[in-house]
Amino acid sequence: MFLERKEKGKLHKGSVLAGYDLGDRYSQISYSIYGEQDVETVATVVGTKQYNIPTMLCKRKGVNQWFYGKDAVKYAEEEDMYPVGELVSLAKKGDEIELDGTVYDPAALLTLFLKRSMTLMSFIAPIDKIEAIMFTVDVLDDRMVEILLQASANLGLKTPHIYFQSHTESFYYFMLHQPKELWDYQVVACEHDGMRLKTYRMECNKRTTPIVVLIEEQIFDTLVIPDDEEDEAVKQDAYRMADERLLDILQKLCEGRIVSSAYLLGEGFRNEWNKESLQYVCRNRRVFQGNNLYSCGACFGLMEKLEPGEESAAYVYLGKDKLKSNIGMNVLKQGRESYYALLDAGENWYEAVKECDLLLEGEPELAFVVTPLNGKDIETKVIRLTGESRTEAPYTRYHLKMDMTAPETVRVAVTDMGFGELFPSSGRSWEQTIALS
For residues 264 and 251, the answer to whether their CB atoms sit within 8 Å is no
For residues 194 and 185, the answer to whether their CB atoms sit within 8 Å is no
Torsions phi, psi for 78 (to 5 deg) = -75, 145
The conformational region for residue 293 under phi > 0 = left, psi -120 to 50 = alpha, else beta, is: alpha
What does the pLDDT look like over 375-396, one tens digit per residue? Answer: 788 999 999 888 765 556 667 8
Q: What is the mean pLDDT of residues 188-201?
A: 94
- First-to-last C-alpha distance (Å) of the chain: 28
Reported as a pLDDT band with limits 50, 70 and 90, residue 272 is confident
Reported as a pLDDT band with limits 50, 70 and 90, residue 73 is very high
Across 147-151, 167-171, 206-210, least confident range: 206-210
pLDDT at 305 over 50: yes
Q: What is the mean pLDDT of residues 233-258?
A: 93
Contacts for 432 with CB less than 8 Å, ≥ 6 apart: 383, 411, 412
How high is the pLDDT of residue 4? 38
Q: What is the mean pLDDT of residues 342-348?
A: 91
What does the pLDDT look like over 119-148, one tens digit per residue? Answer: 999 888 888 889 999 999 999 988 998 999
For residues 20 and 295, the answer to whether their CB atoms sit within 8 Å is yes
Which one has a higher pLDDT value, 235 or 74? 74
How high is the pLDDT of residue 391? 58
How high is the pLDDT of residue 275? 94
How high is the pLDDT of residue 420? 64
Q: What is the mean pLDDT of residues 33-38?
A: 89
Which one has a higher pLDDT value, 32 or 388? 32
Reported as a pLDDT band with limits 50, 70 and 90, residue 373 is confident
Reported as a pLDDT band with limits 50, 70 and 90, residue 340 is very high
How high is the pLDDT of residue 215? 96
C-alpha 157/C-alpha 129 separation (Å) is 8
pLDDT at 333 over 80: no
Q: Order of strands, edge to edge, in the sheet holding 325-333?
A: 336-343, 325-333, 365-372, 379-384
The mean pLDDT of the chain is 90
| Three state DSSP letters for the chain | CCCCCCCCCCCCCCCEEEEEEECCCEEEEEEEECCCCCCEECCCCCCCCCCCEECCEEEECCCCCEEEHHHHHHHCCCCCEEEECCHHHHHHHCCCEEECCEEECHHHHHHHHHHHHHHHHCCCCCHHHCCEEEEEECCCCHHHHHHHHHHHHCCCCCCCCEEEEEHHHHHHHHHHCCCHHHCCCEEEEEEECCCCEEEEEEEEECCCCCEEEEEEEEEECCCCCCCCCCCHHHHHHHHHHHHHHHHHHHHHHHCCCCEEEEEEECHHHCCCCCHHHHHHHCCCCEEEEECCHHHHHHHHHHHHHHCCCHHHHHEEECCCCECCEEEEEEEEECCEEEEEEEECCCCECCCCEEEEEEEECCCCEEEEEEEECCCCCCEEEEEECCCCCCCCCCCEEEEEEEEEEECCEEEEEEEEEEECCCECCCCCEEEEEEECC
Contacts for 411 with CB less than 8 Å, ≥ 6 apart: 402, 403, 404, 405, 431, 432, 433, 434
pLDDT at 213 over 90: yes
pLDDT at 236 over 60: yes
pLDDT at 162 over 80: yes
Contacts for 414 with CB less than 8 Å, ≥ 6 apart: 366, 383, 385, 398, 399, 400, 401, 429, 430, 431
What does the pLDDT look like over 3-30, one tens digit per residue? Answer: 333 345 678 888 999 999 999 999 999 9
**Domains detected in the chain:** 16-168 (3.30.420.40), 171-291 (3.30.420), 325-435 (2.60.34.10)
For residues 42 and 30, the answer to whether their CB atoms sit within 8 Å is yes
How high is the pLDDT of residue 256? 94
How high is the pLDDT of residue 270? 86
% of the chain with per-residue pLDDT over 90: 66
How high is the pLDDT of residue 3? 36
Contacts for 275 with CB less than 8 Å, ≥ 6 apart: 243
